[in-house]
Amino acid sequence: MTTEPVALAAALASFDDLWSPRIVTRVNDYDVRVAKVQGVHVWHAHHDTDELFLVLDGELHIALREEAGERTVVLPRGSVFTVPRGVEHCPSSAEGASIMVLEPTGTLTVGDSHEEVPDHVDVTTGRPLAM
């Protein structure tokens, strides 16, 4: 972990992998991760933690399976949304997006429960940023 400021644009430019978040810093017991995304992730849920999304560029859609039914939240650039713990969700982006995610260190990108993971999704707890 660096003790210097991290330029998010430079961090995102340092890798090309989709759905493979990089840890840019830590806050207490939380990772601040950035990722490039395009297409559909996987339906999953985090049983013990909320998950915060901030859209840095592009547009992110998050489909949610809630008690009241299924709905999709659309997040344009600059928007933030928190998926509550235990809610099944599936992020996607047709045109591609860059996002920041805040979640506890060690949290899997595919949650505690998930559907079959497609090949394009990196199952990780975040990869170190190599700049």
- Domain borders along the chain are 8-114
Residue 65: strand, helix, or coil:
strand
Determine the average pLDDT of the residues in 40-60.
97
Tens-place pLDDT, residues 110-125: 999 998 999 999 999 9
Determine the average pLDDT of the residues in 36-54.
97
- What does DSSP say about strands 30-40 and 88-104: parallel, antiparallel, or unpaired? antiparallel
Write down the architecture of domain 8-114 according to CATH: Sandwich (2.60)
Check pLDDT > 90 for residue 130: no
Q: What pLDDT score does 115 carry?
A: 86
Alpha-carbon distance 68 to 70, whole Å?
7
pTM of the full structure: 0.94
Residue 56: band (very low, low, confident or very high) from pLDDT cuts 50, 70, 90: very high
Rg, Å, the chain Cα set:
14
Structure tokens at 35: 């990722």
Check pLDDT > 80 for residue 2: no
